[in-house]
Structure 1
Amino acid sequence: MDKDVFDYNGYREYLFDWLAGQPKRGRGLRSSLAAAMHSPVSHVSQVLGGISDLSLEQAEDVNEFLGHTADHSEYFLLLVQHGRAGTAKLKSRIESQLERIRQKRLILKDRLDVKTSISREDQATFYSTWHYAGIHILLTIEKYQTKEAIARYLGISLKKTTEMLEFLISIGLAKQEHGRYLVGPTRVHLGNDSPMINKHHINWRLQAIQSLEREDMQMALHYSSVVSISKDDATRIKALLVKSIENAKSVIRDSKEEELYSFCLDFFRI
Protein backbone atom coordinates (compact mmCIF):
# COMPACT_ATOMS: atom_id res chain seq x y z
CA MET A 1 0.00 0.00 0.00
CA ASP A 2 1.48 3.35 -1.09
CA LYS A 3 -0.26 5.57 1.48
CA ASP A 4 -0.95 5.89 5.18
CA VAL A 5 -4.45 6.39 6.62
CA PHE A 6 -3.59 10.06 7.24
CA ASP A 7 -3.30 10.57 3.47
CA TYR A 8 -7.00 9.80 2.98
CA ASN A 9 -10.13 11.91 3.12
CA GLY A 10 -12.49 8.93 2.91
CA TYR A 11 -12.42 5.63 4.76
CA ARG A 12 -13.74 3.60 1.80
CA GLU A 13 -10.82 4.59 -0.40
CA TYR A 14 -8.43 3.73 2.39
CA LEU A 15 -9.92 0.26 2.94
CA PHE A 16 -10.07 -0.43 -0.80
CA ASP A 17 -6.41 0.54 -1.27
CA TRP A 18 -5.37 -1.43 1.81
CA LEU A 19 -7.00 -4.58 0.46
CA ALA A 20 -5.53 -4.01 -3.01
CA GLY A 21 -2.07 -3.56 -1.52
CA GLN A 22 -2.04 -6.94 0.23
CA PRO A 23 -0.58 -10.14 -1.29
CA LYS A 24 -2.79 -11.48 -4.09
CA ARG A 25 -4.60 -8.11 -3.94
CA GLY A 26 -6.25 -9.09 -0.67
CA ARG A 27 -7.97 -12.20 -1.99
CA GLY A 28 -9.75 -13.83 0.94
CA LEU A 29 -9.19 -10.86 3.24
CA ARG A 30 -12.71 -9.54 2.78
CA SER A 31 -13.95 -12.64 4.58
CA SER A 32 -11.44 -12.08 7.39
CA LEU A 33 -12.43 -8.42 7.63
CA ALA A 34 -16.11 -9.35 7.73
CA ALA A 35 -15.46 -11.86 10.50
CA ALA A 36 -13.59 -9.23 12.51
CA MET A 37 -16.59 -6.92 12.12
CA HIS A 38 -19.06 -9.71 12.95
CA SER A 39 -20.76 -9.00 9.62
CA PRO A 40 -21.48 -10.93 6.40
CA VAL A 41 -19.05 -10.52 3.52
CA SER A 42 -21.83 -8.88 1.52
CA HIS A 43 -21.83 -5.99 3.99
CA VAL A 44 -18.11 -5.39 3.38
CA SER A 45 -18.79 -5.30 -0.37
CA GLN A 46 -21.66 -2.86 0.16
CA VAL A 47 -19.47 -0.61 2.31
CA LEU A 48 -16.67 -0.57 -0.26
CA GLY A 49 -19.22 0.07 -3.00
CA GLY A 50 -20.68 3.07 -1.18
CA ILE A 51 -24.06 1.44 -0.58
CA SER A 52 -23.67 1.06 3.19
CA ASP A 53 -21.59 2.66 5.92
CA LEU A 54 -19.60 1.17 8.74
CA SER A 55 -21.03 1.67 12.19
CA LEU A 56 -18.66 3.17 14.75
CA GLU A 57 -18.55 -0.20 16.50
CA GLN A 58 -17.52 -1.87 13.24
CA ALA A 59 -14.94 0.86 12.64
CA GLU A 60 -13.37 0.04 16.00
CA ASP A 61 -13.25 -3.63 14.97
CA VAL A 62 -11.50 -2.56 11.76
CA ASN A 63 -8.98 -0.58 13.83
CA GLU A 64 -8.10 -3.74 15.71
CA PHE A 65 -8.00 -5.87 12.55
CA LEU A 66 -5.62 -3.48 10.79
CA GLY A 67 -3.40 -3.03 13.85
CA HIS A 68 -3.97 0.71 14.04
CA THR A 69 -2.18 2.69 16.74
CA ALA A 70 -4.18 5.09 18.94
CA ASP A 71 -3.51 7.97 16.51
CA HIS A 72 -4.42 5.90 13.45
CA SER A 73 -7.56 4.66 15.19
CA GLU A 74 -8.69 8.17 16.11
CA TYR A 75 -8.23 9.38 12.54
CA PHE A 76 -9.99 6.35 11.04
CA LEU A 77 -12.97 6.80 13.38
CA LEU A 78 -13.21 10.43 12.28
CA LEU A 79 -13.17 9.32 8.63
CA VAL A 80 -16.08 6.98 9.35
CA GLN A 81 -17.97 9.72 11.20
CA HIS A 82 -17.37 12.02 8.25
CA GLY A 83 -18.72 9.40 5.87
CA ARG A 84 -21.81 8.92 8.02
CA ALA A 85 -22.49 12.62 8.65
CA GLY A 86 -25.92 13.63 7.40
CA THR A 87 -25.48 17.39 7.10
CA ALA A 88 -22.96 19.66 5.41
CA LYS A 89 -22.45 21.49 8.71
CA LEU A 90 -21.44 18.32 10.54
CA LYS A 91 -19.22 17.19 7.67
CA SER A 92 -17.45 20.55 7.76
CA ARG A 93 -16.83 20.28 11.50
CA ILE A 94 -15.32 16.80 11.14
CA GLU A 95 -13.24 17.93 8.14
CA SER A 96 -11.73 20.61 10.38
CA GLN A 97 -10.81 17.97 12.96
CA LEU A 98 -9.21 15.80 10.28
CA GLU A 99 -7.24 18.74 8.91
CA ARG A 100 -5.92 19.65 12.37
CA ILE A 101 -4.59 16.12 12.80
CA ARG A 102 -2.93 16.19 9.37
CA GLN A 103 -1.29 19.56 10.08
CA LYS A 104 -0.07 18.37 13.47
CA ARG A 105 1.63 15.40 11.83
CA LEU A 106 3.26 17.62 9.22
CA ILE A 107 4.75 19.79 11.97
CA LEU A 108 6.07 16.66 13.69
CA LYS A 109 7.69 15.45 10.46
CA ASP A 110 9.38 18.85 10.03
CA ARG A 111 10.82 18.60 13.54
CA LEU A 112 12.14 15.11 12.85
CA ASP A 113 14.18 16.30 9.89
CA VAL A 114 16.61 18.16 12.17
CA LYS A 115 17.22 15.33 14.65
CA THR A 116 20.71 13.85 14.69
CA SER A 117 20.62 11.79 17.90
CA ILE A 118 18.07 10.45 20.35
CA SER A 119 17.53 11.56 23.94
CA ARG A 120 18.30 9.50 27.04
CA GLU A 121 14.56 9.03 27.59
CA ASP A 122 14.07 7.72 24.06
CA GLN A 123 17.12 5.49 24.44
CA ALA A 124 15.47 3.90 27.48
CA THR A 125 12.48 2.98 25.32
CA PHE A 126 14.59 1.92 22.34
CA TYR A 127 16.69 -0.50 24.40
CA SER A 128 13.78 -1.78 26.52
CA THR A 129 13.37 -4.64 24.03
CA TRP A 130 15.39 -5.99 21.11
CA HIS A 131 12.43 -5.45 18.76
CA TYR A 132 13.17 -1.74 18.23
CA ALA A 133 16.75 -2.33 17.08
CA GLY A 134 15.64 -5.38 15.11
CA ILE A 135 12.95 -3.44 13.25
CA HIS A 136 15.34 -0.53 12.68
CA ILE A 137 17.78 -2.79 10.83
CA LEU A 138 15.02 -4.76 9.09
CA LEU A 139 14.06 -1.51 7.36
CA THR A 140 17.30 -1.72 5.37
CA ILE A 141 15.98 -4.91 3.71
CA GLU A 142 13.51 -4.16 0.91
CA LYS A 143 11.25 -7.17 1.50
CA TYR A 144 10.66 -6.10 5.12
CA GLN A 145 9.73 -2.46 4.54
CA THR A 146 6.02 -2.89 5.28
CA LYS A 147 4.51 -3.33 8.73
CA GLU A 148 2.75 -6.52 7.63
CA ALA A 149 6.03 -8.12 6.51
CA ILE A 150 7.78 -7.05 9.72
CA ALA A 151 4.98 -8.43 11.91
CA ARG A 152 5.07 -11.78 10.10
CA TYR A 153 8.86 -12.07 10.26
CA LEU A 154 9.20 -11.19 13.95
CA GLY A 155 6.05 -13.03 15.01
CA ILE A 156 4.49 -10.03 16.76
CA SER A 157 1.08 -8.44 16.37
CA LEU A 158 0.37 -5.88 13.67
CA LYS A 159 -0.67 -3.37 16.33
CA LYS A 160 2.58 -3.76 18.26
CA THR A 161 4.57 -3.48 15.03
CA THR A 162 2.74 -0.29 14.07
CA GLU A 163 3.30 1.23 17.51
CA MET A 164 7.01 0.46 17.34
CA LEU A 165 7.30 1.91 13.84
CA GLU A 166 5.50 5.04 15.02
CA PHE A 167 8.03 5.38 17.85
CA LEU A 168 10.97 4.92 15.48
CA ILE A 169 9.48 7.57 13.19
CA SER A 170 8.93 9.93 16.14
CA ILE A 171 12.64 9.83 17.05
CA GLY A 172 13.87 9.96 13.45
CA LEU A 173 15.18 6.39 13.22
CA ALA A 174 12.57 5.56 10.57
CA LYS A 175 10.57 7.42 7.95
CA GLN A 176 7.68 6.57 5.68
CA GLU A 177 7.83 7.17 1.94
CA HIS A 178 5.32 5.94 -0.64
CA GLY A 179 3.83 3.47 1.81
CA ARG A 180 7.17 1.87 2.74
CA TYR A 181 9.13 2.27 5.95
CA LEU A 182 12.78 3.24 5.54
CA VAL A 183 15.68 4.03 7.85
CA GLY A 184 15.46 7.65 9.00
CA PRO A 185 18.12 10.40 9.22
CA THR A 186 18.83 9.96 12.94
CA ARG A 187 21.70 7.75 14.01
CA VAL A 188 21.96 5.82 17.26
CA HIS A 189 25.30 5.14 18.93
CA LEU A 190 25.75 3.59 22.35
CA GLY A 191 29.06 4.22 24.08
CA ASN A 192 30.57 1.80 26.56
CA ASP A 193 29.87 4.33 29.32
CA SER A 194 26.13 4.49 28.56
CA PRO A 195 23.75 3.25 31.29
CA MET A 196 21.90 1.41 28.47
CA ILE A 197 24.89 -0.66 27.33
CA ASN A 198 24.19 -3.59 29.66
CA LYS A 199 20.55 -3.76 28.53
CA HIS A 200 21.69 -3.72 24.91
CA HIS A 201 24.05 -6.66 25.47
CA ILE A 202 21.45 -8.60 27.45
CA ASN A 203 18.79 -8.13 24.74
CA TRP A 204 20.92 -9.82 22.09
CA ARG A 205 22.40 -12.50 24.35
CA LEU A 206 18.84 -13.57 25.13
CA GLN A 207 18.24 -13.84 21.39
CA ALA A 208 21.38 -15.97 21.10
CA ILE A 209 19.94 -18.34 23.71
CA GLN A 210 16.66 -18.54 21.78
CA SER A 211 18.62 -19.25 18.59
CA LEU A 212 20.06 -22.36 20.26
CA GLU A 213 16.53 -23.69 20.71
CA ARG A 214 15.54 -23.23 17.07
CA GLU A 215 16.06 -25.82 14.38
CA ASP A 216 17.52 -23.49 11.72
CA MET A 217 21.11 -23.94 12.92
CA GLN A 218 22.75 -24.38 9.51
CA MET A 219 23.76 -20.72 9.16
CA ALA A 220 24.15 -20.05 12.90
CA LEU A 221 27.45 -20.15 14.76
CA HIS A 222 27.68 -20.68 18.51
CA TYR A 223 30.88 -21.44 20.40
CA SER A 224 31.31 -21.71 24.16
CA SER A 225 34.40 -22.70 26.11
CA VAL A 226 36.18 -22.13 29.41
CA VAL A 227 39.98 -21.96 29.29
CA SER A 228 42.95 -21.20 31.53
CA ILE A 229 45.56 -18.99 29.86
CA SER A 230 48.30 -16.50 30.70
CA LYS A 231 47.60 -12.78 31.09
CA ASP A 232 49.70 -12.02 28.01
CA ASP A 233 47.82 -14.53 25.87
CA ALA A 234 44.49 -13.18 27.10
CA THR A 235 45.58 -9.78 25.76
CA ARG A 236 46.64 -11.37 22.46
CA ILE A 237 43.33 -13.19 22.05
CA LYS A 238 41.38 -10.01 22.78
CA ALA A 239 43.39 -8.21 20.09
CA LEU A 240 42.68 -11.03 17.63
CA LEU A 241 38.95 -10.83 18.36
CA VAL A 242 38.92 -7.04 17.99
CA LYS A 243 40.63 -7.43 14.61
CA SER A 244 38.03 -10.05 13.62
CA ILE A 245 35.25 -7.63 14.56
CA GLU A 246 36.84 -4.92 12.40
CA ASN A 247 37.14 -7.35 9.47
CA ALA A 248 33.52 -8.47 9.88
CA LYS A 249 32.29 -4.86 10.01
CA SER A 250 34.19 -4.17 6.79
CA VAL A 251 32.33 -7.04 5.08
CA ILE A 252 29.00 -5.94 6.58
CA ARG A 253 29.47 -2.35 5.40
CA ASP A 254 29.69 -3.39 1.73
CA SER A 255 27.17 -6.25 1.91
CA LYS A 256 23.78 -6.23 0.18
CA GLU A 257 20.96 -6.11 2.73
CA GLU A 258 19.13 -9.45 2.39
CA GLU A 259 18.82 -11.13 5.80
CA LEU A 260 18.83 -10.10 9.48
CA TYR A 261 21.61 -11.51 11.65
CA SER A 262 22.79 -10.88 15.20
CA PHE A 263 26.53 -10.65 15.80
CA CYS A 264 27.53 -11.10 19.46
CA LEU A 265 31.01 -11.85 20.77
CA ASP A 266 32.11 -12.46 24.37
CA PHE A 267 35.53 -12.97 25.89
CA PHE A 268 35.81 -12.30 29.61
CA ARG A 269 37.51 -13.34 32.81
CA ILE A 270 35.56 -15.50 35.26
Structure 2
Amino acid sequence: MNIFDFKSYKTFLKAYCESERGALTRLAEAADTQKSYISTCLKGKGQLSLDQAFAIAVYLGFSENEQDYFYLLIEKEKAVTPALRRRLEAKAKEMSREAFRIKNQQKDSVVITEGDSGIGFYYATWLATGIHTLTSVPQFQSLANLGKRLNLNQESIAMIVEYLVKMELIKKSGEKFQWNSSNMHLEDNSMWISGHHTNWRARAIDNIQKRDKEATHYSAIQSFSEEDFDKLKKKIVHFINDFNKVADPSEPEDAFCFNIDLFRI
Protein backbone atom coordinates (compact mmCIF):
# COMPACT_ATOMS: atom_id res chain seq x y z
CA MET A 1 0.00 0.00 0.00
CA ASN A 2 1.52 3.29 -1.11
CA ILE A 3 0.69 6.55 0.72
CA PHE A 4 1.18 8.48 -2.55
CA ASP A 5 -1.83 6.68 -4.01
CA PHE A 6 -4.08 8.50 -1.54
CA LYS A 7 -5.36 12.09 -1.41
CA SER A 8 -6.56 11.78 2.20
CA TYR A 9 -4.57 10.48 5.15
CA LYS A 10 -7.80 9.19 6.68
CA THR A 11 -8.62 7.14 3.59
CA PHE A 12 -5.10 5.70 3.68
CA LEU A 13 -5.30 4.75 7.35
CA LYS A 14 -8.77 3.24 6.87
CA ALA A 15 -7.43 1.10 4.02
CA TYR A 16 -4.47 0.07 6.17
CA CYS A 17 -6.72 -0.89 9.09
CA GLU A 18 -8.94 -2.93 6.75
CA SER A 19 -5.93 -4.75 5.30
CA GLU A 20 -4.59 -6.17 8.58
CA ARG A 21 -6.35 -7.58 11.59
CA GLY A 22 -5.61 -5.58 14.74
CA ALA A 23 -4.09 -2.71 12.76
CA LEU A 24 -6.25 -0.06 14.46
CA THR A 25 -5.07 -1.19 17.88
CA ARG A 26 -1.43 -1.08 16.82
CA LEU A 27 -1.83 2.41 15.34
CA ALA A 28 -3.33 3.65 18.61
CA GLU A 29 -0.48 2.11 20.58
CA ALA A 30 2.08 3.70 18.28
CA ALA A 31 0.41 7.10 18.64
CA ASP A 32 0.09 6.63 22.42
CA THR A 33 -3.64 7.33 22.36
CA GLN A 34 -6.94 5.54 22.71
CA LYS A 35 -8.16 3.23 19.98
CA SER A 36 -11.51 5.03 20.11
CA TYR A 37 -9.80 8.36 19.33
CA ILE A 38 -8.10 7.00 16.21
CA SER A 39 -11.42 5.47 15.16
CA THR A 40 -13.20 8.79 15.67
CA CYS A 41 -10.58 10.63 13.58
CA LEU A 42 -10.91 8.16 10.74
CA LYS A 43 -14.68 8.63 10.71
CA GLY A 44 -14.20 12.32 10.03
CA LYS A 45 -14.54 13.76 13.53
CA GLY A 46 -11.26 15.21 14.74
CA GLN A 47 -7.71 15.15 13.40
CA LEU A 48 -4.45 13.55 14.37
CA SER A 49 -1.88 15.86 15.90
CA LEU A 50 1.48 16.08 14.14
CA ASP A 51 3.09 14.28 17.10
CA GLN A 52 0.65 11.40 16.68
CA ALA A 53 1.18 11.46 12.92
CA PHE A 54 4.95 11.31 13.39
CA ALA A 55 4.66 8.30 15.71
CA ILE A 56 2.38 6.52 13.22
CA ALA A 57 4.68 7.36 10.30
CA VAL A 58 7.67 5.90 12.17
CA TYR A 59 5.65 2.80 13.06
CA LEU A 60 4.65 2.33 9.38
CA GLY A 61 8.28 2.70 8.29
CA PHE A 62 7.69 5.70 6.06
CA SER A 63 10.62 7.20 4.19
CA GLU A 64 11.34 10.90 4.69
CA ASN A 65 9.37 11.82 1.55
CA GLU A 66 6.45 9.60 2.59
CA GLN A 67 6.41 11.26 6.02
CA ASP A 68 6.39 14.74 4.48
CA TYR A 69 3.48 13.77 2.23
CA PHE A 70 1.60 12.22 5.17
CA TYR A 71 2.00 15.41 7.24
CA LEU A 72 0.94 17.52 4.25
CA LEU A 73 -2.29 15.53 3.92
CA ILE A 74 -3.01 16.18 7.60
CA GLU A 75 -2.37 19.91 7.19
CA LYS A 76 -4.69 19.91 4.17
CA GLU A 77 -7.46 18.29 6.23
CA LYS A 78 -6.99 20.90 8.95
CA ALA A 79 -6.99 23.89 6.58
CA VAL A 80 -10.02 26.14 7.10
CA THR A 81 -9.72 28.76 4.37
CA PRO A 82 -10.41 27.55 0.77
CA ALA A 83 -7.31 29.33 -0.58
CA LEU A 84 -4.99 27.53 1.84
CA ARG A 85 -6.68 24.22 1.20
CA ARG A 86 -6.27 24.63 -2.59
CA ARG A 87 -2.60 25.50 -2.15
CA LEU A 88 -1.97 22.44 0.00
CA GLU A 89 -3.93 20.23 -2.41
CA ALA A 90 -1.77 21.47 -5.30
CA LYS A 91 1.41 20.80 -3.33
CA ALA A 92 0.22 17.31 -2.39
CA LYS A 93 -0.64 16.57 -6.03
CA GLU A 94 2.83 17.65 -7.15
CA MET A 95 4.52 15.53 -4.43
CA SER A 96 2.49 12.52 -5.51
CA ARG A 97 3.39 13.03 -9.17
CA GLU A 98 7.08 13.40 -8.33
CA ALA A 99 7.03 10.23 -6.25
CA PHE A 100 5.72 8.26 -9.22
CA ARG A 101 8.28 9.51 -11.70
CA ILE A 102 10.23 6.51 -12.97
CA LYS A 103 13.56 7.88 -11.73
CA ASN A 104 12.24 7.81 -8.15
CA GLN A 105 11.11 4.19 -8.46
CA GLN A 106 14.41 2.65 -9.60
CA LYS A 107 15.85 2.32 -6.11
CA ASP A 108 18.09 -0.66 -6.86
CA SER A 109 19.59 0.67 -10.09
CA VAL A 110 22.83 2.52 -10.77
CA VAL A 111 21.94 5.95 -12.17
CA ILE A 112 23.99 6.82 -15.26
CA THR A 113 24.86 10.53 -15.53
CA GLU A 114 26.37 12.68 -18.27
CA GLY A 115 29.73 12.50 -16.48
CA ASP A 116 30.04 8.73 -16.90
CA SER A 117 32.81 8.77 -19.49
CA GLY A 118 32.41 6.49 -22.49
CA ILE A 119 28.90 5.29 -21.65
CA GLY A 120 27.30 7.33 -24.47
CA PHE A 121 28.06 4.66 -27.05
CA TYR A 122 26.23 2.11 -24.90
CA TYR A 123 22.96 4.00 -25.47
CA ALA A 124 23.75 5.02 -29.06
CA THR A 125 22.92 1.59 -30.49
CA TRP A 126 20.55 -1.18 -29.50
CA LEU A 127 23.35 -3.68 -30.10
CA ALA A 128 25.33 -2.58 -27.05
CA THR A 129 22.42 -2.86 -24.63
CA GLY A 130 21.17 -6.02 -26.34
CA ILE A 131 24.50 -7.86 -26.28
CA HIS A 132 25.16 -6.73 -22.72
CA THR A 133 21.84 -8.24 -21.62
CA LEU A 134 22.35 -11.46 -23.60
CA THR A 135 25.66 -12.11 -21.82
CA SER A 136 23.66 -12.74 -18.64
CA VAL A 137 22.32 -15.88 -20.37
CA PRO A 138 24.83 -18.79 -20.23
CA GLN A 139 24.07 -20.01 -23.75
CA PHE A 140 24.88 -16.60 -25.28
CA GLN A 141 28.30 -15.99 -23.71
CA SER A 142 30.37 -16.73 -26.81
CA LEU A 143 30.92 -14.62 -29.93
CA ALA A 144 29.64 -17.42 -32.13
CA ASN A 145 26.38 -17.88 -30.23
CA LEU A 146 25.80 -14.13 -29.95
CA GLY A 147 26.28 -13.87 -33.72
CA LYS A 148 23.78 -16.67 -34.39
CA ARG A 149 21.26 -15.24 -31.90
CA LEU A 150 21.35 -11.76 -33.46
CA ASN A 151 22.05 -12.88 -37.05
CA LEU A 152 25.21 -10.77 -37.25
CA ASN A 153 28.79 -11.57 -38.23
CA GLN A 154 31.31 -12.18 -35.46
CA GLU A 155 33.37 -9.09 -36.40
CA SER A 156 30.43 -6.80 -35.60
CA ILE A 157 29.74 -8.67 -32.36
CA ALA A 158 33.43 -8.61 -31.37
CA MET A 159 33.62 -4.82 -31.71
CA ILE A 160 30.70 -4.31 -29.32
CA VAL A 161 31.95 -6.96 -26.92
CA GLU A 162 35.40 -5.33 -26.81
CA TYR A 163 33.76 -2.03 -25.85
CA LEU A 164 31.64 -3.69 -23.14
CA VAL A 165 34.71 -5.42 -21.68
CA LYS A 166 36.61 -2.12 -21.66
CA MET A 167 33.69 -0.48 -19.82
CA GLU A 168 33.68 -3.43 -17.37
CA LEU A 169 30.04 -4.11 -18.17
CA ILE A 170 30.98 -7.66 -19.10
CA LYS A 171 34.08 -9.70 -18.25
CA LYS A 172 36.02 -12.25 -20.24
CA SER A 173 36.43 -15.65 -18.62
CA GLY A 174 38.31 -17.99 -20.95
CA GLU A 175 36.29 -18.00 -24.16
CA LYS A 176 33.17 -16.73 -22.41
CA PHE A 177 31.91 -13.17 -22.00
CA GLN A 178 29.77 -12.76 -18.89
CA TRP A 179 27.50 -10.02 -17.53
CA ASN A 180 29.42 -7.94 -14.98
CA SER A 181 27.29 -5.01 -13.85
CA SER A 182 24.33 -3.84 -11.80
CA ASN A 183 21.02 -2.78 -13.33
CA MET A 184 21.47 0.65 -14.88
CA HIS A 185 19.04 3.53 -15.19
CA LEU A 186 19.19 6.81 -17.15
CA GLU A 187 17.92 10.03 -15.62
CA ASP A 188 14.84 11.28 -17.45
CA ASN A 189 16.67 14.45 -18.55
CA SER A 190 19.68 12.55 -19.90
CA MET A 191 20.97 13.52 -23.36
CA TRP A 192 21.01 9.79 -24.21
CA ILE A 193 17.49 8.82 -23.19
CA SER A 194 15.79 9.88 -26.44
CA GLY A 195 18.14 7.73 -28.50
CA HIS A 196 17.79 4.79 -26.11
CA HIS A 197 13.97 4.83 -26.31
CA THR A 198 14.07 5.36 -30.08
CA ASN A 199 16.43 2.41 -30.58
CA TRP A 200 14.17 -0.03 -28.78
CA ARG A 201 10.92 1.26 -30.22
CA ALA A 202 12.45 0.82 -33.64
CA ARG A 203 13.23 -2.76 -32.66
CA ALA A 204 9.60 -3.14 -31.55
CA ILE A 205 8.38 -1.95 -34.96
CA ASP A 206 10.73 -4.42 -36.63
CA ASN A 207 9.33 -7.19 -34.44
CA ILE A 208 5.74 -6.21 -35.31
CA GLN A 209 6.58 -6.39 -39.02
CA LYS A 210 7.94 -9.91 -38.49
CA ARG A 211 4.53 -10.90 -37.05
CA ASP A 212 6.13 -12.55 -34.02
CA LYS A 213 3.30 -14.58 -32.49
CA GLU A 214 5.08 -14.84 -29.11
CA ALA A 215 5.32 -11.07 -28.68
CA THR A 216 2.89 -8.60 -27.13
CA HIS A 217 2.40 -5.14 -28.65
CA TYR A 218 -0.22 -2.67 -27.51
CA SER A 219 -1.06 0.88 -28.61
CA ALA A 220 -4.19 2.83 -27.62
CA ILE A 221 -5.33 6.34 -28.54
CA GLN A 222 -8.11 7.30 -26.17
CA SER A 223 -9.57 10.30 -24.33
CA PHE A 224 -10.15 10.39 -20.57
CA SER A 225 -10.04 12.76 -17.61
CA GLU A 226 -6.97 14.44 -16.13
CA GLU A 227 -7.62 12.61 -12.86
CA ASP A 228 -7.67 9.25 -14.62
CA PHE A 229 -4.51 10.22 -16.52
CA ASP A 230 -2.70 10.54 -13.17
CA LYS A 231 -4.32 7.33 -11.94
CA LEU A 232 -3.19 5.37 -15.01
CA LYS A 233 0.37 6.70 -14.74
CA LYS A 234 0.52 5.43 -11.17
CA LYS A 235 -0.84 2.03 -12.22
CA ILE A 236 1.87 1.79 -14.88
CA VAL A 237 4.57 2.62 -12.33
CA HIS A 238 3.14 -0.02 -9.97
CA PHE A 239 3.23 -2.52 -12.83
CA ILE A 240 6.86 -1.60 -13.62
CA ASN A 241 7.74 -2.27 -9.97
CA ASP A 242 5.92 -5.62 -10.12
CA PHE A 243 7.66 -6.36 -13.43
CA ASN A 244 11.08 -5.73 -11.83
CA LYS A 245 10.24 -7.89 -8.81
CA VAL A 246 9.64 -10.80 -11.17
CA ALA A 247 12.30 -10.07 -13.79
CA ASP A 248 15.29 -9.10 -11.63
CA PRO A 249 15.63 -12.38 -9.68
CA SER A 250 14.53 -14.53 -12.64
CA GLU A 251 17.02 -17.12 -13.96
CA PRO A 252 18.41 -15.80 -17.29
CA GLU A 253 17.28 -18.01 -20.18
CA ASP A 254 16.84 -15.44 -22.95
CA ALA A 255 16.76 -11.65 -23.37
CA PHE A 256 13.59 -9.62 -23.90
CA CYS A 257 12.56 -6.01 -24.47
CA PHE A 258 9.71 -4.40 -22.51
CA ASN A 259 8.27 -1.06 -23.69
CA ILE A 260 4.60 -2.05 -23.22
CA ASP A 261 5.86 -4.07 -26.07
CA LEU A 262 7.31 -7.36 -24.90
CA PHE A 263 9.34 -9.37 -27.36
CA ARG A 264 12.42 -11.51 -27.72
CA ILE A 265 15.38 -9.37 -28.85
TM-score tier after normalising by the smaller chain length: 0.5 to 0.7
Once the two structures are TM-superposed, the CA of residue 201 in structure 1 deviates from its matched residue by 0.6
Return the letter of the residue paired with 1:242.
V
* Residue pairs, 1:70-149, within 5 angstroms: 120-149=116-145
Matched, 1:174 2:159: no
Structure 1: which 5+ runs fail to align?
1-115
Return the letter of the residue paired with 2:243.
A
Quote the residue 1:228 is aligned against.
223
Quote the residue 1:150 is aligned against.
146
Quote the residue 1:184 is aligned against.
180
Partner SS for 1:262: strand
Return the letter of the residue paired with 1:251.
V
Matched, 1:253 2:248: yes
Quote the residue 2:190 is aligned against.
194
Once the two structures are TM-superposed, the CA of residue 215 in structure 1 deviates from its matched residue by 3.4
Partner SS for 2:178: strand
- The superposition leaves residues 239-270 of structure 1 with CA deviations (integer Å, 9 ceiling, x where unpaired) of 1111111101100012111111100039xxxx
Quote the residue 1:87 is aligned against.
none
Closer, same or farther in 2 for the Cα pair 1:174/1:213, shift >3 Å? same
**Distance (Å, rounded) in 1 between the aligned partners of 2:225 and 2:150:** 43
- Does the 8 A contact of 2:165 with 2:171 survive in 1? yes
**Distance (Å, rounded) in 1 between the aligned partners of 2:251 and 2:257:** 16
Return the letter of the residue paired with 2:180.
G
Once the two structures are TM-superposed, the CA of residue 155 in structure 1 deviates from its matched residue by 1.2
Return the letter of the residue paired with 1:265.
I
- Does the 8 A contact of 2:218 with 2:260 survive in 1? no
Once the two structures are TM-superposed, the CA of residue 211 in structure 1 deviates from its matched residue by 0.8
Once the two structures are TM-superposed, the CA of residue 151 in structure 1 deviates from its matched residue by 0.8
Once the two structures are TM-superposed, the CA of residue 224 in structure 1 deviates from its matched residue by 1.1
Quote the residue 1:210 is aligned against.
206
**Distance (Å, rounded) in 2 between the aligned partners of 1:128 and 1:166:** 16
- Does the 8 A contact of 1:173 with 1:183 survive in 2? yes
Closer, same or farther in 2 for the Cα pair 1:183/1:117, shift >3 Å? farther
Closer, same or farther in 2 for the Cα pair 1:166/1:245, shift >3 Å? same
Partner SS for 1:254: coil
**Distance (Å, rounded) in 2 between the aligned partners of 1:225 and 1:137:** 29
Structure 2: which 5+ runs fail to align?
1-110
Over aligned residue pairs, what C-alpha RMSD do you find?
Answer: 2.0
Return the letter of the residue paired with 2:252.
E
- When normalised by structure 2's length, the TM-score is 0.53
How many percent of aligned residue pairs carry the same amino acid?
A: 27
**Distance (Å, rounded) in 2 between the aligned partners of 1:121 and 1:210:** 31
- Does the 8 A contact of 2:171 with 2:179 survive in 1? yes
- The superposition leaves residues 198-224 of structure 1 with CA deviations (integer Å, 9 ceiling, x where unpaired) of 11110110011011011332x211111
Once the two structures are TM-superposed, the CA of residue 234 in structure 1 deviates from its matched residue by 0.5
Partner SS for 2:189: coil
- Does the 8 A contact of 1:136 with 1:168 survive in 2? yes
**Distance (Å, rounded) in 2 between the aligned partners of 1:265 and 1:120:** 28
Once the two structures are TM-superposed, the CA of residue 143 in structure 1 deviates from its matched residue by 0.5
Among 259, 263, 266, the residue aligned to 2:258 = 263
- Does the 8 A contact of 1:117 with 1:187 survive in 2? no
Closer, same or farther in 2 for the Cα pair 1:170/1:187, shift >3 Å? farther
Q: How many equivalent residue pairs?
A: 150
Partner SS for 2:171: strand
